[in-house]
Chain A
Amino acid sequence: MINKTPKIELNGLRKKFNEKVVLESVGLKVMPGESMVIIGGSGSGKSVMLKCILGLIHPDSGSIKIDGTEMVNISNKDRKSILNKFGMLFQGAALFDSLPVWENVAFGLLAQRTYERDEAKEIAIEKLRRVGLSPDVGILNPSELSGGMQKRVGLARAIATNPDIIFFDEPTTGLDPIMSDVINELIVECVKDVGATAVTITHDMSSVRKIADTVAMIYQGNIIWTGPRDLIDNSGNDFIDQFVNGKASGPIKMEILKG
C-alpha cells in the first residue's frame, strides 16, 4: 500500500519579526522520497520557513507536521527524537571551528550516543569518501579547507546519520559554476543513497534543474506556485517566468532603497 502521509506538511504557517511579516500563510506538502526545491528571491522567507520546520524559530501560528506528527508546541524530548530524522547542509556549511573535520562529520552520530568514537570516526571517513574527500582531510581543521571542500564536509555531516529528511540551504552559494555542479550532483547521489526526502532552498536555477523533482516558489511570505520541475519553463505563471529567466521587469518587485 502506498504511504499517502506527507513527510512534511505545512498549513497556514505565519511568522513576523516586529512589524515585518516574513511568512504570511505558507502551505506546503512534501511527499516521502520527493526532492522539493523552493525558489524565491532574497528575503522572501525561504530560510525562515526551513528554520521553523527545524524548530530553530517558533512560528506565530500555523501547523508543521512531520510524518503526520504536529511539531508546533511539541515537548523538547519529542522534538529531539524527531530532529534525529533530519540532516541539514547550511549555506556557509556551519562547520565547528574547534573540531577536526572527521569530528564535524561524526558529530550527529556521537550526539545520539549510539556509537563509540572509533566507530563514529570510521563512518565519518566513509562519508567523506562518499563526497569525494580523502581520509587525510579528516584530521584537518575546517579553516584549512576551501569553500567547496567545506560544502562537501557539510554534506557528509548532513548524510552521516542516514536521515529521513535532508535540508539544503542554498548549497551552491559562493561556489564557482563547476564546483556548484559537483555539489549538485553529490546532493542528488547522496539523497538517493540514503533514500531521504530532500528540501532545498535556492535561487540558483542550475541547482533547481539538477536537484528538483518538484518546485515551489515563495513570494512575499506565501507559496505562490508548486509543480513538477519540467513545468518551470512553461508554468504559465508570470512570477515563475520572471524568476526563471532572471528579468528585472515583471510582477516581482524587488525592494531597493534609493538614496
Chain B
Amino acid sequence: MNFLAVFGRIIISFLRAAGRVGVFATKTITHMLTPPYYPRELIRQMINIGYYSLPVVGLTTLFTGAALAVNIYEGSSRFNAESTLPTIVVIGMVRELGPTLCGLIVAGRVSASMAAELGTMRVTEQIDALQTLSTEPFKFLIAPRILATVIMMPLMLVVVADTIGVMGGYLLATTKLGFNSANYMRSTIDFLETIDVIASLTKATVFGFFISLMGCYHGFNARGGAQGVGIATTNAVVSACIMILVSNYVVTEMFFSS
C-alpha cells in the first residue's frame, strides 16, 4: 500500500512538473508570435549561444570523429572490412554523434548559463523590475533565448559538429591508417544521404528547443538565494540532457525505423 502511495505521488509530481513546463512552453510560443519583438536581444543571444559555443563543439567533435575512426578501424579489420570506415564515420557522426554530442555540450554550456542568469535575475528582483518597466519578461528574456537556440543549433552548431567530426575521422584515417584522401572523401560523399542530413538538423532543432526551454524554465522559477540558483542550474542541465537523450531516440525512430 505504501509502495503504491509513493509510486502514485511520484507519478502525480511528474505530471504536475510536465504540465508546468507545457504551460511555460505554450506561453513562450504565444509571446514569440506576438509583438513587441526584441531583435537586438535575439541577435545578442544568437552570438552568445552560437558563436561562443563553436570552439568547444568543434574541439569535442574533432576528437570524437578521430576516436570513432580508430574504433571502427580496429573492429572492422577483424573482418577485413576496413573500407567501410568512411561510411560508418559519416553516418555515425551525422545521424547520431554530431547532434547528440553537440546537444549535450550546449546543454552544459547554454542551459546552465540561462538558468544561472535568469535565476540570479529572479532572486535579485530584476525580473520584477522588468515588469514594472512595462516589459513582459517572456517576450524580452525567454522568447529570444529559445528562438536563438532553435535557430543556431541546426544552422550553425550541428552543421559545424557534423563537418568537423567527419573531418576528424578523415584526418586520422589519411594520416595514420593509410587511407587514400580522394577515396575517403568519395566514400563519405557517396554514402551520405539527404535524409541523414535532414534527421541531423531535425534533432538539432528539437534539442535546441529543449536545451533553452529547460534553462529558461528552471532559471525563471528559481527561488531563494544562491542555493536556489545553484539548484535551478543543476536541474536545468540534468533535465535538458534527459530530454536530449529521450528525444534523440524518438526522432531516430521517426526517421529510420523500418
- A in complex with B: yes
Q: Please report which residues of chain A, range 55-85, place their CB below 8 angstroms from some CB of chain B when the two chains form the complex.
A: 55-56, 80, 83-84
B134 touches A108 (CB 8 A): yes
A94 touches B128 (CB 8 A): yes
How many A-B Cβ pairs are below 8 Å? Answer: 48
Q: Please report which residues of chain B, range 106-146, place their CB below 8 angstroms from some CB of chain A when the two chains form the complex.
A: 117, 120-121, 124-126, 128-135
Q: Find the residue from B125, B132, B135 having the highest chain A CB count within 10 A.
A: B132
Q: Is B19 interfacial (CB 8 A cutoff)?
A: no
B125 touches A91 (CB 8 A): yes
A90 touches B135 (CB 8 A): no
For the residues of B in contact with A, the DSSP-based class is: helix
Q: Which residues of B contact A92 (CB under 8 A)?
A: 124-125
B128 touches A51 (CB 8 A): yes
Provide the bound-state CA to CA distance between A92 and B132, in Å: 15
Q: For A88, give the chain B residue with the smallest CB separation.
A: B132
Q: Find the residue from B126, B130, B133, B134 having the highest chain A CB count within 10 A.
A: B133
Shortest C-beta distance, B141 to chain A (Å), equals 10
Shortest C-beta distance, A155 to chain B (Å), equals 13
Q: Which residues of B contact A2 (CB under 8 A)?
A: none
Q: Find the residue from B125, B129, B135 having the highest chain A CB count within 10 A.
A: B129
Which listed residue (B36, B129, B131, B134) contacts A96, Cβ 8 A?
B129
**Number of interface residues, chain B, beta carbon within 8 A:** 15
Q: Which residues of A contact B124 (CB under 8 A)?
A: 92, 94
Q: Find the residue from B117, B120, B134 having the highest chain A CB count within 10 A.
A: B134
B131 touches A90 (CB 8 A): no
Shortest C-beta distance, B45 to chain A (Å), equals 11
**Number of interface residues, chain A, beta carbon within 8 A:** 24
Q: Is A111 interfacial (CB 8 A cutoff)?
A: yes
Provide the bound-state CA to CA distance between A87 and B132, in Å: 7
Q: For B35, give the chain A residue with the smallest CB separation.
A: A113
B129 touches A55 (CB 8 A): no
Q: For A163, give the chain B residue with the smallest CB separation.
A: B132
Q: For A96, give the chain B residue with the smallest CB separation.
A: B126
Q: Is A102 interfacial (CB 8 A cutoff)?
A: no
Provide the bound-state CA to CA distance between A55 and B130, in Å: 12
B133 touches A54 (CB 8 A): no
Q: Which residues of B contact A86 (CB under 8 A)?
A: 132
Q: Is A112 interfacial (CB 8 A cutoff)?
A: yes
- Listed A/B pairs (26) with beta-carbon separation below 8 Å: A51-B128, A54-B132, A55-B131, A80-B134, A83-B131, A83-B134, A84-B134, A86-B132, A88-B129, A88-B132, A90-B128, A90-B129, A91-B125, A94-B125, A94-B126, A96-B121, A96-B126, A96-B129, A97-B120, A97-B121, A98-B117, A107-B133, A108-B133, A108-B134, A111-B133, A112-B134
A88-B129, A95-B126, A108-B134 given; 14 more Cβ-contact pairs under 8 Å: A51-B128, A54-B128, A83-B131, A83-B134, A86-B132, A88-B132, A90-B125, A94-B126, A96-B121, A96-B129, A96-B130, A97-B120, A98-B117, A111-B135
Per CB-CB distance, the 9 closest pairs between chain A and chain B, nearest first, are A94-B129, A94-B125, A108-B133, A88-B132, A111-B135, A111-B134, A90-B125, A94-B126, A107-B133
